[in-house]
Amino acid sequence: MFCSSSECKGEDKVIQEQGAVIAAEGDTVTLGCQYESSGTTNYLFWYKQDGNNSPKFILMRYSRDQGNTADEFKERFSSTLDSSIRSVPLKIQKLQLSDSAVYYCAVRPTVTGNTKTLYKNLWSKDNRILHNIH
């Protein structure tokens, strides 16, 4: 984990242990993300990265279904934050070939004081969706 100030605590991280997911077009998949954080309110993010492109913002959740989703993902991508088990799984419905990508989960805890603190996460494993088309 890298941080721009001393307010960053080492226990703030996400855990993605699922690895590669093989699915067919039209399927529904759920990608897991557990998080650990010292913050009282946490902002959880999902990003999609395909090829050599920069990661694209999919959605953010700060409590259950509260947050926002990028317009291009609203129809088929969803997530519900469960703070009791520190989980924010990403559900993708009606899979399309263009969904083949690496998906990243990230956490940003709330911090008192310096509002410009930047949190970056190192992911333990990436979630890849690999299509098995017959």
Q: What is the SS3 string spanning 3-50? A: ECCCCCCCCCEEECCCCEEEECCCCCEEECCEEECCCCCEEEEEEEEC
pLDDT tens for the chain, 134 residues long, are 333 333 445 567 888 876 788 999 999 999 999 998 877 788 999 999 998 899 999 999 998 889 999 999 999 999 999 989 999 999 999 999 999 999 999 988 665 544 443 333 333 344 555 544 43
HSE on the CB side for 109, CA within 13 Å? 21
Confidence (pTM): 0.75
Give me the pLDDT at residue 11, please. 67
In a domain, 2, yes or no: no
In a domain, 101, yes or no: yes
The domain that contains 18 carries what CATH number?
A: 2.60.40.10
- Domain that includes residue 49, residue range: 7-131
In a domain, 76, yes or no: yes
Give me the pLDDT at residue 106, please. 92
Q: Count of domains in the chain?
A: 1
In a domain, 63, yes or no: yes
In a domain, 79, yes or no: yes
| First-to-last C-alpha distance (Å) of the chain | 41
CA 11 to chain centre: 17
| Bridge partner list, 57 | 47
Give the type of residue at 77: F
Give me the pLDDT at residue 14, please. 86
The pair phi, psi for residue 98, each rounded to 5°, is -70, -10
Residue (of 76, 131, 108) closest to 7 by Cα position: 108
In a domain, 72, yes or no: yes
In a domain, 127, yes or no: yes
